[in-house]
Amino acid sequence: MSLRFEPIRIERQPDYFEFLDACPEKASDYSFLNLWGWADVYGLEWAWTPELVWIRQSRPVEKYWAPVGDWKSVDWAEILRLHFSGNVPFGRVPEGLLRIWRQTPGIKRETQPSRGHWDYLYSVTDLVELKGNKYHKKKNLLNQFSKRYDYQYIPLVGDNIHQTIQMQENWCTWRDCASQAALDSENQVISKALNNWQRFHRLMGGAIMVETEVAAYTVAEKLSADTLVIHFEKGDHDFKGIYQAINQIFLENAGRGFTMVNREQDLDSEGLRKAKLSYNPVGFLKKFDVELSF
């Protein structure tokens, strides 16, 4: 039985959240904003069955992502053979699902770690308090920012989104997004998210205002009852310590009730990896490329 794929529609958020909430391991890739926002870039579509939501990408190559739902209640031997035959590539497969597949009889697997897609996991308390020598440089830059600038933190809501959109446009001008494919694609996703802000059910965000301008902003999303995911974090480098400030101040204000923060992947970028490691992750949500053979 072939799966019937269709465009990812923002109106189906509530339906999708039922499957995501039942999923035992929630990687950042499968947050609603990431699926909907990056759908044009990766050619993402989804197909719905009673047990799972299946995700397929068509760009730059065709492959499947991990299906979303209650993995533990699925007869994987039956359902995989029902929908697939031959060799089937899957990407961004969380380690928890891979463990289940390894216990499924009659299915061959070729597996390799996808290190660039591992999610970085942090303690909210650690990133708010910044205690100890391991956070000394971060705390010092945060203090310099706080002493040097007269700033105000504001939550992102409908009536100030336009200022954040303007800041993002300025940021892209500074970084020349148009000449860099990755930044240009990200800018398109950010623009889609900000311009549809009121339509999202689980998005949250905050901005730091210096005088009347947005100096930095964060876009985040509730991923589970105890974890939020940071999707985008942009700041004006003219303000020393701005990234340390938006990181800490956003979590201090919006992170109450959450114990963990997922700061997504480094995509094998040496600079991103160094920056993410510098905040001392408490763990990783590991993902793998898997080819299943039937």
Q: Please state which of the four CATH numbers 3.40.50.10260, 3.40.630.30, 3.30.450.30, 3.90.550.10 is assigned to the domain occupying 6-118+287-293.
A: 3.40.630.30
Give the pair of three-digit tokens for residue 171: 């940021």
- Judge whether 93 and 290 are in contact, CB under 8 Å: yes
Phi and psi at residue 228, to the nearest 5°: -115, 155
Torsion over CA: 93, 96, 98, 100 (sign):
negative
CB distance 113 to 290 below 8 Å: no
Domain ranges of the chain: 6-118+287-293, 119-264
Instruction: Quote the tokens at residue 221.
Output: 């999303």
> Is the pTM here over 0.85, yes or no?
yes
Local confidence pLDDT in tens for the 294 residues of the chain: 689 999 999 999 999 999 999 999 999 999 999 999 999 999 999 999 999 999 999 999 999 999 999 999 999 999 999 999 999 999 999 999 999 999 999 888 999 999 999 999 999 999 999 999 999 999 999 999 999 999 999 999 988 899 999 999 999 999 999 999 999 999 999 999 999 999 999 999 999 999 999 999 999 999 999 999 999 999 999 999 999 999 999 999 999 999 999 999 999 999 999 999 999 999 999 999 999 998
